[in-house]
Amino acid sequence: MPKHGEKKKAPTSTLRFSGMAFSMAACIGLAVWFGRKWDESTQSEVPYGTLLGGVLGTGLAIWMVIRDLSR
What are the tens digits of pLDDT across the range 5-53? Answer: 666 666 678 888 899 999 999 999 999 999 999 999 999 899 999 999 9
On whether the CB atoms of residues 53 and 33 are closer than 8 A, the answer is: yes
Q: What is the DSSP letter of 8?
A: P
The pLDDT value given to residue 6: 65
What are φ and ψ of residue 26, in 5° steps? -65, -40
Output the 3-class SS for 2-65. CCCCCCCCCCCHHHHHHHHHHHHHHHHHHHHHHHHHHHHHHCCCCCHHHHHHHHHHHHHHHHHH
Question: What is the pTM (predicted TM-score) of this model?
Answer: 0.78
The pLDDT value given to residue 4: 67
